[in-house]
Structures are given as structure tokens and as C-alpha cells.
Amino acid sequence: MKLELTDSRRLTGPNLFWDLPGAVIDVSIDGPPDRVVQVWKSAARDWLDAVGHSDQRTCHRLFEGGASLLISAPIDALYAMCELNEVVWASTMHTCGLGPAPDRGEEIPRLTRLFDEERNPRLLALQEAAAEQGLPFLWDDDEVSVGYGGSAQIWDSQALPRAEDVDCSRLGSIPVALVTGTNGKSTTVRMTAAIMNAAGYRAGLTSTDFIRVAERVIDQGDYSGPGGARTLLRQPDVDMAVLEVARGGLLRRGLGVARANVAVVTNVAEDHLGEYGIHSVDELIEAKFIVRRALTAEDTLILNADDAGVVAFGEKLDNRICWFSLAADHPKIRQARSAGGAACYLEDDWLIAAAGSNHRRVAPVSEIPASRAGTVRYNLANALAALGIAVTLGIPDEAIRAGLAAFRGDERDNPGRGNWFEHRMEGGSVRILVDFAHNEHGMRALADVVGRVSAERVVVLFGQAGDRTDQEIAGLVRAACEMHPERLLIAELPGYERGRQPFEVPRLIRQDALASGLDAARIEIFPDPQEATRSALAQARPGDLLVLLALTQRKEALALVHAFIGDSGSNDG
């Protein structure tokens, strides 16, 4: 048998396993896992008893080729508990005949000292006081806060007050929405924020591109994890928030907030498999649904009825669910309405909000610019998800309609996601679509859009990071080939090889494109996205549709597009 520790980390919020914080290790197990897990559990109990933490719990989760092994911990003992869990694993290895036993004479004093050094009674007292008052509580290595937005109070983590000295009557919360899924998260978040702003709220959002309150950008970068949530919810000028919640943050740290008012799962498809013990779409679905742990029985979970996996998982839950669908006659929509539940759907080119037998038209498709008159079906799905959030939070219909109309989906509102441009030249125009599709599900949605647009030639440019499996890359390529590209421009993504050899991924994409029936003469490989973009623009002809998938170097790609269209073009968002 071969055993290996592959990862050790803190879980700071509700997570895939339970609602408790704790320390988790991921291990690979080449052989039957059951005995290994039992040895680990016995060792964990022994070491917990030895350092005076007998009250903590253990749990585990098996996955293909290994297991996740967890020990709960108070929030002022997580680092020390990670150290203990690693010692427990060393003890497990020894019992299985694969290494030396940890020296108890050295490790017990060391671990005891680590727990003592990390202990923070005032932190735990503030956490308890917030829970008793029903107030949000956020903490990290630098700051601790109770409340959200303007009613929050924030302290340096090294200078915490006594809980009895905090006037909790002055602290409060704000409405918070969570959005997760494989595709559509960022767009749904930004549509929702536009609706909140139209309703007169100072809407805060986190996303993979930035943190923003109303028009004020707080910081740029990927803030779809717990750190982004904490930063936003501590802003004094935010009074309603919508948070993008990505898979990585959920699995690496857990939820960034323990409490929210509404949550959305847009869809779940094959992407990033093989990380943190997630090896199948079913396991990924379970991970995405961590967001429901922030909801009470009275809160609403908004789910995509057009996603079979989401439906199958959602049907097992006891949450209050609002289903959304592009089909008014979808069985889940009919079922929800007949049971007196909530639903949002598309009917006669209108977005409809329904509660039981009552339904109302909220926004016409013609007034949702991001849908391009209904051509971009996936943005109608995103708009329905945003509609569900807005209705749940009690936002008036006129503000919902105004917000969706204000969200144009261009590079200002939604940079790199469904941005359209047009360049007029002698003999016609060249249309350009810059997008972020990076998995098979997203690429098929994009292919559906391209199929609804008339074009004499379609030119497709994309690459992929090296951490995707061969199977995931093959699915992406098959979906791209559904656009029937006259030219397929494959870009190496420098810096994103992630364990693969240089140009290994482009060669794999080319191989998969040939297997999909694309002629070799139509396929070209470039050293980076900029060179590929320059080639696409330089050889553009009237009647072309250029589909540029800017996974990296997005700003550079957009700059090249703007230089190309010049004064004769338009940002056709």
C-alpha cells in the first residue's frame, strides 16, 4: 500500500463536510481506504486526548484514490489543529508500516504550546456574543468584525475588546445573496448588482475581476473567495450585497459567510475536476451546493431547472426553492407553481415571476441588452437567476426592469464576457465577440449563440490552461468545432502550463480538432493570445464573425480590438 499527504489546510467556514470550522488533510491511498481511515480516526482521538482537545470531532470523505480527513476546531485553534492533523497522519503511516512513529515526547509539548499560543478567548467571546444577538461575524488574521456594512464594527485582531464592552444594539446586517455555479456566476452577480442599484441601494459585489460598491471599485483581481466577501461586507457604504462564490474558495476554505438571505446555483458542468478530491460532476454539484448551508428554512435557494444535475440534487433537499427556466412549460416550473411555490421563467419574450397561480410580466427580452434581442440565451438564463434574487429580496418590478435594461453586457459592465464589436469596412462589416468560455458547457452555450448569428465565415480563437484533464480539453474542442470555424486559432497560454510541457495543450487541442473533422489547413497554433488575436484581425474579411476567447491577456486583446475597429467601428454591447 502507498499513502501520501497531498494537502493540509484550514476550513474557516461552512464547507463540503459540515458547518464546523476545522483542519482537513487530503491524502492519496493506493489500496483499500477503510482500514486507513479507521487507523487515522483512532490516532486522531489519541492525539486529541493527549493535548486536551477531546471535545473535537472527526469526519472523513472518500474519493477516487484517496480521502479527506477532518478534525473540528474552534476558530482560535485552526493552525495548531492543522499541525496536529499532520502528526496524526504520520502516526497513521507508521501504524500502516510506512514510516517512523512521531516522537510523543517532542510532539505533545510542541502541539500543546501551539494551541496555547493561538488561543484567543476574546475572539471566541465576540463570536458567541454575535451569535446570541443574531449578528454577522467575520474574522481573519488581520481583522475581526461584527455586523455588515455601515452598521459593522471592526477591530484589529490583535486588539480585540471584551465582548461585554461592545454595544451590539448599534450593530446590524444587510441583505446578502450568494451566486455559484460553473458558468454565468459573474454575469448573474453583475446583473443583480445593477438591479439593486436601480432600486436605490448601494450595491456591493464580489467577482473574479473586482470588488465594487455602486461605481466605486475597491480592488481588482479574483475576489470570488472568502477574502473578497469579508472585504466587501466591511465597507461602510454598502447596504445590499451579492457575492460570487467560486469552487476553489468553497473547497479550500469553505463559505466566506455563515449567513445569507438567498443563494443561486446557475448550473454545474465538468470543470476543474481532480482538485481537492472532486473527481466527478456529481461531486462538483455537491460542492457547489455548499452555499445552501448559509440559508435557514425560511430563505430561498434559486436553482436552474434546465440543468439536469442541479435538478436531481435539488429534489433531495428540504430548502425553499425557486426554480428558473427558459421554458414556461418545464415540469419543475409547473410542479413548483401547482405546489404554491416560486418560479421565474421565459414566456412570450418576457421574464415572468410567479408565486403559485399568480404570475406577472417583469421585463421584456427586447429591453435586456445583454441578451441581444434573445440571441444570447445563456444571458436570459442569467437574467432569470437575477430576477429570482431580486424578487426574493423584495425589490420592486420597475427597478428589476430598469436594472436589466441598464446592464448592457459590454466591456464596462461585464469585461471579457459576451462583449460585441463591429468594424465597418469596404464590402461589409466584421463582427467580433470577446468572451470567457473556458469549458465544454460554456463553449456549447457560445456555439448556440454563434449559430443564431449570420456570418460568411466564423473564426475561433482559444487556448486552455494545463490543469484541465485531457477529457475536459477534448470536450471543449468538440464544442468549439460546433461553430464550424473557417479558421481555428489555438493560443499557447504562457504561464498557465501548470505541469504540462510548453505547447503540449495546443498540440492536444489540434489533435482533438482533427478528430472532430476539422481540416488541418484550417488550424493554426500561436505562441500567445496576442499573436493569435493580431492574426485574426489582420486576416478578417467583410462578413466574418471573430470569436475571441480571452482566457488570459484580456486587456491586451481588447486593446487590439479597439485599435482594429478605430473610428469606423462600434462597441456593440
By the 8 A CB rule, do 534 and 560 touch?
A: yes
- The confidence score (pLDDT) of residue 553 equals 78
Distance of CA 258 to CAs 13, 139, 243, 291, Å?
7, 11, 13, 9
Cell numbers at residue 519, please? 481540416
**pTM given for the model:** 0.91
Distance CA 62, CA 45 (A): 19
Q: Cβ atoms within 10 A of the Cβ of 6, count?
A: 12
Distance CA 469, CA 114 (A): 40
- The confidence score (pLDDT) of residue 409 equals 85
Distance CA 32, CA 517 (A): 43
The yes-or-no answer to whether 176-406 and 419-571 have a common fold is no
Tell me, rounded to whole angstroms, the distance of Cα 486 from its chain centroid.
Answer: 33
Establish how many alpha carbons lie within 13 A of residue 563's alpha carbon, considering only the half-sphere containing its beta carbon. Answer: 11
Write the burial class of residue 497 (CB in 10 Å: 0-12 exposed, 13-18 middle, 19+ buried).
middle
Distance CA 327, CA 345 (A): 6
Q: Where are the beta strands (DSSP E) in 209-319?
A: 210-213, 216-220, 240-244, 262-265, 300-304
- Strand, helix or coil for residue 120: coil
- The confidence score (pLDDT) of residue 461 equals 96
- Confidence class of residue 554 from pLDDT cuts 50, 70 and 90? confident
Cell numbers at residue 418, please? 459576451
According to DSSP, the β-strands at 419-425 and 457-462 are unpaired
Q: Which of 474, 453, 432, 258 is nearest to 374 (CA)?
A: 453
Distance CA 405, CA 198 (A): 10
Cell numbers at residue 297, please? 428554512
Q: Does residue 372 surpass a pLDDT of 70?
A: yes
- Put the strands of the sheet holding 66-72 in their side by side order: 2-11, 22-30, 66-72, 58-63
**Domain 176-406, CATH homologous superfamily name and number:** Mur-like, catalytic domain (3.40.1190.10)
187 φ/ψ angles, rounded to the nearest 5 degrees? -65, -45
Angle, nearest 10°, between helix axes 529-538 and 554-565? 20
- Domain 419-571 CATH class label: alpha beta
Which residue ranges make up each domain of the chain? Answer: 2-118, 121-170, 176-406, 419-571
By the 8 A CB rule, do 536 and 548 touch?
A: yes
- Strand, helix or coil for residue 398: helix
Q: Does residue 108 surpass a pLDDT of 80?
A: yes
Q: Which of 357, 356, 376 is nearest to 368 (CA)?
A: 376
Q: What integer is the mean pLDDT of 441-462?
A: 93
Q: Which of 377, 512, 372, 545 is nearest to 445 (CA)?
A: 377
Amino acid at 496: Y
191 φ/ψ angles, rounded to the nearest 5 degrees? -60, -45
Q: What integer is the mean pLDDT of 424-436?
A: 92
Distance CA 429, CA 537 (A): 12
Q: Does residue 567 surpass a pLDDT of 90?
A: no
Mean predicted lDDT score pLDDT of the chain: 95
- Confidence class of residue 568 from pLDDT cuts 50, 70 and 90? low
- pLDDT tens-digit map of 316-335: 999 999 999 999 999 999 99
Q: Does residue 569 surpass a pLDDT of 90?
A: no
- pLDDT tens-digit map of 216-245: 999 999 999 999 999 999 999 999 999 999
